[in-house]
């Protein structure tokens, strides 16, 4: 029954993606062609001319007709439509992907990251196994995929990266994430190098960090394999907190240098080079996961772990927690809101079918999470078998799962070094393409700003990439110290916590409300050839913002709670140097001082403060709220008194009436309105005696004066 429930849930999600990808374009094209044919019969070439008086005197209530590539219309620029801000990047001069598959693999590589391996399986176990897939897929459908689609369209239509306002917040956020995310990859490299030995140090009880002064620790554990990560790699026992970070760990610094070197040579030439690297980093995880799954499924106890993973317990869905966790998981999993997909899409051809790419990426991301869950829990079941403990006592979340629990299971296998090499190679490939995406967001966003003034200089991209990479490397050295884990945990909690959720919410509101679905849907139609369906419009306008707003409220509640996990680091093991006495079964924590909390709040506030700050600056610069929230190409309408953003229609519109069921509603409403006008005209055409007035009758065919105002 568990497998049936799991299979039906996953198949339903895949069918939804297939229906969106295969049926929607044909439906939209058919309706669009019919509407265009009808309009061509009712309008004359003179009326359609952009230079005609009718076009110049267009009603401010009508949908905006200008747009497309080159329009300063992205959500990141809603508060910045000033000539000083405008980025002039000609489409024909802009670098582009070598092939379409380069772009597709890049966005898949960024979406599928380490969270698919260490967070999704744990959430499935914690919240009802296979039952967690229900909120997971629902949140994917109504929140993550629509925002992902929106971000791809923004980048492809406008042909530049995230800049100013929301874009500036995205650039800073991805750069802060790079400081600690690349350190995770450095840990993976260190574990990988240690795997090239006949005896894995993470499974040995005789390693150097367990000798001498650590005898008290060895009393409680027969072997010291659990301590390899915190004591052997991090040496966190030699630092008491933020006030004493200690010395940098030389091996970690070297591994960090390797990571940033790989990033530089992947990014220095732009998407031409990074688009080729992802052929390895985006595809290798699926190959390695499949190999590890085949090996894990044949281990004793594997079925026990998989049962914990997929066995549905629907009672766990009665609380709000699994729904909030599912919303957060899909949010980070797809990567919407970071600006990376926007940056990648800006290098695509304007006519590229990013709608199809969005659906393929969503399916690949869900499949990777699903596959990783089977892999992880097959090995956890094996570990439960050899230790005699229940699965819930051997599992963990986050770094503890992949750097402590999982290596132990691998270490007991025949030819353990081989499986260890494969596993940490998997983590490295998962991390590198996500790290490349984060760096590319900053390089594209800021690069578009400096490209015009620095265009006359050679190798601008290479020099700028060096500066960005080197500075990030020196900042990451602080996280390679003995107390670097305290900084890592702080950045992990605050650099992309509440800020990424607020940024995505702001982006959704800016596009669907301020910019307006009338113009946004027209941009999509002009570039993709079809208009988005009613499902996407409802998600952009109402459903996704509401979901995100609920997450924001819960995150603020957590932020205000002084006992929240945001304000402490939980040691995974007992360290006698930090705690004088050990009490069996106790947990040990490092609570951040006031200064540490202020640093966390400051990181979050600086990112979020950029959005209102740039909005206020735009209003002050224009001395007009109307111009600040109106695309620059429509400022002439504002000058003439036609402020579409001050009309109810703009704020309530779901876009052009060219998709089901809006087209049916529009036809019914137009038919009824035209019928009423016909009756009124017929009444006016008769005198008091019921005689028809020939002079006021309907004009004959060919009269050029019969032009319906709505037509």
Query: d(Cα 234, Cα 229) in Å, to the nearest integer?
Result: 6
Query: d(Cα 62, Cα 428) in Å, to the nearest integer?
Result: 52
Asked if 405 and 380 touch (Cβ cutoff 8 Å), the reply is yes
Query: d(Cα 456, Cα 467) in Å, to the nearest integer?
Result: 19
109 marked as binding residue: yes
Question: For residue 113, what are the contacts with CB-CB under 8 A and spacing of at least 6?
Answer: 333, 335, 430, 431, 433, 434
Residue 253 C-beta-side C-alpha neighbours within 13 Å: 11
Asked if 195 and 105 touch (Cβ cutoff 8 Å), the reply is no
Q: Which of 51, 64, 53, 74 is nearest to 638 (CA)?
A: 64
Q: 319: burial class by Cβ within 10 Å (0-12, 13-18, 19+)?
A: exposed
State both tokens at 165: 């306002």
112 marked as binding residue: yes
State both tokens at 171: 């650039």
Question: For residue 59, what are the contacts with CB-CB under 8 A and spacing of at least 6?
Answer: 642
Distances, alpha carbon 443 to alpha carbons 153, 347, 464, in Å:
20, 13, 8
Query: d(Cα 465, Cα 560) in Å, to the nearest integer?
Result: 38
Q: Which of 494, 367, 490 is nearest to 111 (CA)?
A: 367
What count of other Cβ atoms lies within 10 Å of the Cβ of residue 200? 22
- Helices (H), ranges, 529-574: 534-538, 544-560
Asked if 26 and 355 touch (Cβ cutoff 8 Å), the reply is no
State both tokens at 554: 């819960």
| Secondary structure (DSSP) of 409-478 | HHHTSTTHHHHHHHHHHHHHHHHHHHHHHHHHHHHHHHHHHHHTTTTTSSSHHHHHHHHHHHHHHHHHHG
Phi/psi region, residue 142 (left: phi>0; alpha: psi -120 to 50; beta: rest), is: alpha
State both tokens at 456: 């006359």
Asked if 548 and 501 touch (Cβ cutoff 8 Å), the reply is yes
658 marked as binding residue: no
Asked if 124 and 130 touch (Cβ cutoff 8 Å), the reply is yes
State both tokens at 647: 């009309």
8 marked as binding residue: no
333 marked as binding residue: yes
Query: d(Cα 601, Cα 578) in Å, to the nearest integer?
Result: 27
Tell me, letter by letter, the H, E, C secondary structure of 87-148: CCCCCCCCCCCCCHHHHHHHHHHHHCCCHHHHCHHHHHHHCCHHHHHHHHHHHHHHHHHHHH
503 marked as binding residue: no
182 marked as binding residue: no
Q: What are phi and psi of 590, to 5 degrees?
A: -110, 115
Q: Running DSSP on this structure, what letter comes out for residue 52?
A: S
Query: d(Cα 246, Cα 485) in Å, to the nearest integer?
Result: 11
Q: What residues form the annotated binding site?
A: 109, 111-112, 116, 333, 365, 430, 433-434
Q: What residues form the annotated binding site for Na(+)?
A: 109, 111-112, 116, 333, 365, 430, 433-434
């Amino acid at each position: 029954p568990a497998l049936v429930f799991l299979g039906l849930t996953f198949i339903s999600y895949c069918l939804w993606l297939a229906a969106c990808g295969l049926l929607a374009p044909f439906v939209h094209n058919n309706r669009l062609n019919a509407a265009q044919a009808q309009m061509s019969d009712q309008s004359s070439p003179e009326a359609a001319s952009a230079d005609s008086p009718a076009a110049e005197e267009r009603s401010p209530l009508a949908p905006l007709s200008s747009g497309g590539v080159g329009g300063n219309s992205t959500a990141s620029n809603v508060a910045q439509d000033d000539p000083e801000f405008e980025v002039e990047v000609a489409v024909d001069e802009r670098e582009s992907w070598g092939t379409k598959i380069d772009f597709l693999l890049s966005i898949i590589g960024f979406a599928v990251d380490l969270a698919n391996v260490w967070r999704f399986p744990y959430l499935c176990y914690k919240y009802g196994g296979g039952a967690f897939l229900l909120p997971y897929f629902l949140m994917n459908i109504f929140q993550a995929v629509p925002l992902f689609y929106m971000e791809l369209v923004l980048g492809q239509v406008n042909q530049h990266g995230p800049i100013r306002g929301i874009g500036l917040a995205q650039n800073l956020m991805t750069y802060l994430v790079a400081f600690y995310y690349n350190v995770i990859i450095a840990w993976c490299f260190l574990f990988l190098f240690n795997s090239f030995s006949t005896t894995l140090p993470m499974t040995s009880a005789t390693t150097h960090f367990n000798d001498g002064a650590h005898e008290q620790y060895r009393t409680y554990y027969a072997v010291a394999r659990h301590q390899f990560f915190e004591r052997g790699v991090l040496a966190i026992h030699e630092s008491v907190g933020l006030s004493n970070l200690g010395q940098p760990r030389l091996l970690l610094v070297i591994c960090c240098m390797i990571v940033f070197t790989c990033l530089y040579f992947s990014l220095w030439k732009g998407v031409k080079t990074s688009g080729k690297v992802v052929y390895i980093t985006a595809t290798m995880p699926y190959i390695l996961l499949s190999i590890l799954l085949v090996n894990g499924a044949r281990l004793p106890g594997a079925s026990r772990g998989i049962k914990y993973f997929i066995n549905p317990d629907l009672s766990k869905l009665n609380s709000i927690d699994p729904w909030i966790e599912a919303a957060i998981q899909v949010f980070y999993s797809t990567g919407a809101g970071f600006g990376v997909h926007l940056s990648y899409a800006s290098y695509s051809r304007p006519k590229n079918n990013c709608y199809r790419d969005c659906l393929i990426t969503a399916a690949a991301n869900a499949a990777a999470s699903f596959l990783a869950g089977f892999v992880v829990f097959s090995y956890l079941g094996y570990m439960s078998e050899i230790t005699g403990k229940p699965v819930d006592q051997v599992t963990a979340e986050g770094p503890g799962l992949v750097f402590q629990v999982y290596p132990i299971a691998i270490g007991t296998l025949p030819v353990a070094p081989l499986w260890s090499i494969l596993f940490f190679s998997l983590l490295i490939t998962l991390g590198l393409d996500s790290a490349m995406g984060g760096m590319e967001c900053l390089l594209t966003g800021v690069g578009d700003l400096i490209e015009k003034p620095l265009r006359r200089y050679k190798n601008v991209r290479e020099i700028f990439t060096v500066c960005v990479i080197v500075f990030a490397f020196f900042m990451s050295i602080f996280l390679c110290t003995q107390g670097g884990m305290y900084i890592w945990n702080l950045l992990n909690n605050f650099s992309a916590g509440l800020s990424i959720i607020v940024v995505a919410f702001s982006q959704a509101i800016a596009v669907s409300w301020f910019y307006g679905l009338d113009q946004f849907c027209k941009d999509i139609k002009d570039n993709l050839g079809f208009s988005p369906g009613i499902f996407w419009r409802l998600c952009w306008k109402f459903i996704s913002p509401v979901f995100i707003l609920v997450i924001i409220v819960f995150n603020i509640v957590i932020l205000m709670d002084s006992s929240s996990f945001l304000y402490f680091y939980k040691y995974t093991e007992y360290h006698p140097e930090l705690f004088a006495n050990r009490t069996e079964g106790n947990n040990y924590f490092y609570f951040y001082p006031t200064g540490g909390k202020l640093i966390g709040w400051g990181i979050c506030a600086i990112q979020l403060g950029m959005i209102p700050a740039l909005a206020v600056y735009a209003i002050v610069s224009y001395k007009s709220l109307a111009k600040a929230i109106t695309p620059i190409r429509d400022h002439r309408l504002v000058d003439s008194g036609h402020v579409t953003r001050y009309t109810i229609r703009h704020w309530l519109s779901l876009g052009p009436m060219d998709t089901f069921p809006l087209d049916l509603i529009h036809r019914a409403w137009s038919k009824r309105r035209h019928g009423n006008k016909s009756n009124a005209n017929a009444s006016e055409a008769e005198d008091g005696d019921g005689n028809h007035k020939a002079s006021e009758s309907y004009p004959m065919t060919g009269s050029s004066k019969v032009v319906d105002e709505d037509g």
